[in-house]
Structure 1
Amino acid sequence: MSRDRAVIPTEPIGSIPRPAELLAAMVGHAAGRIGDAELAAAQDHAIRDTIHRLEALGSPVVTDGEQSKPSFATYPLAGLDRLAADGVVIPFADGHQRQLPRLMAGPMRYAVHAERYLTAAQQHASVPVKQAVIAPSALSLLYPPDGIDGYPREAFLDDLTAETEADIRGCLDAGAHVVQLDFTEARLALKLDPSGGLLEQFITLNNRVLERFSAAELARIGVHTCPGGDQDSTHSLDVDYALLLPRLLQLKAGVFYVQLASEPEPEKALAVLAEHLPDRARVFIGVTDPIDPRVETPEQVRDRVLAAARHLPPDRLGTSDDCGFSPFADDTSTSRETAFAKIRARIEGTALAAGMLSPGP
């Protein structure tokens, strides 16, 4: 792409806070007061509203806002009967925790594939739709440290690799604009294991999946990293980004979505990105912070893009939100209106920066 026509793409990451009507329907369904059909109708209404509002803001790419996912991480497990509740605990800085389930028996199979969410969203969209999927590294944490009788870890990883490939490939085949692997546990891995061994295991497993795709397919596969964002707190913002980014960029993806708006030292992170970004890969930098209640102005977003452009060429640069606004269905810490206001600022600010990066006639 020539610098005389700077075009900086902008995309949402994934989740958007659910409307009150959907939250009420979810509570009613869990309590047995409403049935599956009524819940599905509430989900479809929320998906349609989310997509139409994103399009009205001028978003060139949309998502379904994860309105019908139980969480960004556990959607493949919905309905599985071989899980226990006492899995890996993820602690957040404010003291609250999230806990993954534990796999009790094999084989590892997805009960739900992300293509279901994509095709539902495409029915309401008039612009390209991206689809987020959970990285296999996150689901590898389901396997207990003491093993499973009759189901060795390597067999589990074989199954998990195949299931993740199918999850991604189904979305590509269904016409996703891009498939985004949510790899939020990357930075957390360095907190849990400062030696880097756990992160290397995660990188190896994720590449084991990515290596199954062609170069053309990898151009439509991205990886998202952030320090977590749940109930206005993070799980690993205190980990030095410079320790993560060079290893993260070893992933064989064509696109990287990198949290940056909430980063304490963004210039330092940008310098690392510029040094290690693989050839032909594009990096989308986070220019809005979903857990900060203050809504960014378009001018603040513009300045963040221009700062990034001092390190990265515009034709390899895009913008996004730092992370999803409500990755777990019960996270209501950010309002739906605040999320859309931040998205508007991202879109308008990105356009302002693109105009400034285009030289005059």
Structure 2
Amino acid sequence: MRIPTESIGSIPRPEYLADAMREHGEGALSAAGLAEVQARAVAETIAALEQTGSTVLTDGEQAKPSFATYPIAGIETLSPDGVVIPFADGHTRQLPSLTEGPFRYRTRADEYLIAARKHTSRPIKQPTIAPSALSLLYPADGIDGYSRDQFLDDLVDEAAADIRRCLDAGADSVQLDFTEGRLSLKLDPSGDLLRSFVELNNRVLDRFTPDEQQRIGVHTCPGGDQDSVHSLDVDYAGLLPLLFEMHAGRFYVQMASETEPERALSVIADSLKPTQRVFVGVIDPIDPAVETPELVRDRILQAARILPVDRLGTCDDCGFAPFADDTSTSRETAFAKIKARVEGTRLAEAELG
């Protein structure tokens, strides 16, 4: 019984990369100089992931300013006063807001994929940001001469092109990061915002054939930043049935940090479509303790009692550093946790025969 296991995406950046990003922001390091440092960090990250036994890799999102804002970094038609995301420990993150149209990506995810390809022959999964997250860039009071409907049409085109380019560049799969899904139920308990997010994402996913949709995944978690979360207190049962209404073939679902995992797994079992595979989180990136392979194995066996094993995979709950300035987890801890996931998944395979 083969159980696929994959990372979600981000790995803590090395100190020399964090220094280079700061120097670039201050004008003390050229774009070319920063790119050279980023390439070094990508190469080292991929080599370390290979050493964990991972068979499907990411670039650790070393060159991204954040998992959410990479497409718009450096765009001049933004103001800093966008949606504020509060975390449980009291800190916040704030999105920018768009000031004029048309909306266009400045950076494409396939650029990261192509750069990573230089350092490995193993399959690479490319994380991208879900269009629903970027829909939050449109200001509540609108933009003169550029309606929300026009913005959403442009956003769908741009997001679909981002995925298409990654598939065409040879990505093993493309992952949409959908951390705003659970958060939406805190912002709007009626579920209307969540339903609008699912509808928007499906407008993008419907640009792809059923076979291509099998190579596209959706990741959900309650946020993960500076060892805190934004929506773990939101009932998973409000999100999961709608999550699996998205027209994707793979779903990466936080579970290791869930307080009632068996209840959540039962909701997934009732919601999972015949063509969908679910990767359950067996590693908690926020917990400083490194899980043992045996603990990972037991979490998988718990999931296997509830979910169809032939459509089960494993992952981490979230990326280890979705924002470039998050240093709450060390690289050594992240790689140790990933290795435990890989080894624990192999133990579970042996148990399941």
Q: TM exceeds 0.5?
A: yes
1:351 aligns with 2:334: no
1:320 aligns with 2:315: yes
TM-score by structure 2 length?
A: 0.99
Q: Distance in 1 between matches of 2:168 and 2:264?
A: 34
Q: Which among 98, 101, 106 is matched to residue 106 of structure 1?
A: 101
Q: Distance in 2 between matches of 1:156 and 1:308?
A: 40
Q: Distance in 1 between matches of 2:5 and 2:121?
A: 16
The aligned counterpart of 2:91 is 96
Q: Distance in 2 between matches of 1:271 and 1:313?
A: 11
- 1:204-283 matched pairs, under 5 angstroms: 204-283=199-278
The aligned counterpart of 1:51 is 46
The aligned counterpart of 1:3 is none
For residue 5 of structure 2, give the secondary structure of its aligned residue in structure 1: coil
1:8 aligns with 2:3: yes
Q: Distance in 1 between matches of 2:176 and 2:119?
A: 23
Q: Deviations over 1:270-311 (max 9, x none)?
A: 101111101121000000000110100000000000000001
For residue 131 of structure 1, give the secondary structure of its aligned residue in structure 2: strand
Q: Distance in 1 between matches of 2:91 and 2:118?
A: 37
CA offset at residue 21 of structure 1?
Answer: 1.1
CA offset at residue 91 of structure 1?
Answer: 0.4
Q: Distance in 1 between matches of 2:27 and 2:250?
A: 42
1:83 aligns with 2:78: yes
CA offset at residue 125 of structure 1?
Answer: 1.2
Q: Distance in 2 between matches of 1:125 and 1:312?
A: 33
CA offset at residue 126 of structure 1?
Answer: 1.9
Contact conserved, 1:224 with 1:258, CA < 8 A, in 2?
yes
CA offset at residue 341 of structure 1?
Answer: 0.5
Contact conserved, 1:7 with 1:314, CA < 8 A, in 2?
no
2:244 counterpart letter in structure 1: L
Q: Deviations over 1:93-125 (max 9, x none)?
A: 000000000100000100011000010011101
Q: Which among 64, 89, 100 is matched to residue 69 of structure 1?
A: 64
Q: Distance in 1 between matches of 2:137 and 2:190?
A: 22
Between Structure 1 and Structure 2, how many residues are aligned?
353
Q: Distance in 2 between matches of 1:317 and 1:42?
A: 37
Gaps of 5+ in 1: 1-5
The aligned counterpart of 1:35 is 30
Q: Distance in 2 between matches of 1:211 and 1:28?
A: 42
Q: Which among 107, 112, 115 is matched to residue 110 of structure 2?
A: 115
2:332 counterpart letter in structure 1: E
Q: Deviations over 1:141-195 (max 9, x none)?
A: 0001111000011000000000000000000000000000000000000000000
Q: Deviations over 1:295-341 (max 9, x none)?
A: 00000000000000001122100000000000000000000000000
Structure 1 segments of 4 or more deviating over 3 A? none
1:345 counterpart letter in structure 2: A
- 1:54-203 matched pairs, under 5 angstroms: 54-203=49-198
2:173 counterpart letter in structure 1: V
Contact conserved, 1:258 with 1:283, CA < 8 A, in 2?
yes
Q: Distance in 1 between matches of 2:52 and 2:336?
A: 9
